[in-house]
Amino acid sequence: MHFVHHRIEAAPRTWAALAERLAKTKLDGGTVYGVWRSQIGRPRDELQAMTLWPRETKAAAAEKALLGGAPEVRRVRSQALVPTLRPTEATAPTRQGNYAFRWFATPEPNWPEFLQLCTDAWPGFEAAYDSQVIGLWQATGDRTGSDGDDATGAGLQDGVRSLLMTRRPNLAMWERSKLPSGAAESEVRDKLSRRYDLCDWTVVSTSTLLTAADTQDTARWT
């Protein structure tokens, strides 16, 4: 499986119409894995989307297939990703919730320990907080657009860049997951926090899933 992450800046007040069209887009050889709208940490008119391809696909080709000449798009930056520990199958997320997109830049020697910490911590994290780790992807270096304010660490040339996507049921659980209760939760938090000691750079923003099958989020977040 090969994925491409797309960060899409829409013209003012056009994000909803653009998102609706993207969600229905039929890709030749690929699928729309999901479309998310900003909740906290990114502009109102920015969308994030991911496309899934059965074989290696260039970021530029995936971007063109998804967006074509969409008039609402002011700027887009895309980058190719390969899954690491997850996802292990092509099933897209469908449950609404609080989705965190966290990017890391990790020195190469620290990457094996980073992966092991994820492996060790995720079961306890998911059990304690009714949450799911959707995926941890490694960026391949194939990307479009200028670095600028792309919030992905694309300007960092050394080390491993990765994207971690987690789902919590709501923002209240986001806060709850940062405040461990008891020894078991504290052990999970220590493992997750250790990753920050291993990386050179990290940033997070949260979003809600526009392609959710259960409920639609209509709050005004950003």
pLDDT-wise least confident of 35-44, 58-67, 104-113, 143-152 = 143-152
Q: What is the pLDDT of residue 154?
A: 67
Gap between the Cα atoms of 43 and 38, Å rounded: 7
Using the predicted structure, report yes or no on whether residue 38 has a pLDDT greater than 80.
Answer: yes
For 89, half-sphere exposure in the C-beta direction (CA atoms, 13 angstrom radius) is: 3
pTM recorded for the entire structure: 0.95
| Whole-number Å distance between alpha carbons of 130 and 123 | 11
Among 156, 135, 112, 108, which residue's Cα sits nearest to residue 50?
135
Mean pLDDT to the nearest integer, 88-104: 97
| Res 32: pLDDT | 98
Percentage of the residues of the chain whose pLDDT score is greater than 90: 90
The span from the CA of 59 to the CA of 49, in Å, is 13
Give the pLDDT band (50/70/90) at residue 157. low
- Per-residue pLDDT band for 155 (boundaries 50, 70, 90) equals low
Compute the mean pLDDT over every residue in the chain, rounded to the nearest whole number: 94
Residue 35 has pLDDT above 90, yes or no: yes
> What pLDDT is attached to residue 70?
87
Q: What pLDDT was estimated at residue 69? A: 82
Q: What is the mean pLDDT of residues 180-203?
A: 94
Spatial separation of the C-alpha atoms in residues 178 and 186, rounded to whole Å: 10
Given this model, what pLDDT does residue 199 score? 96
Q: Which helix (H) or strand (E) holds 205?
A: strand 201-209
Q: What is the pLDDT of residue 150?
A: 65
- Residue 156 pLDDT > 90, yes or no? no
pLDDT bracket for residue 149 (50, 70, 90): low
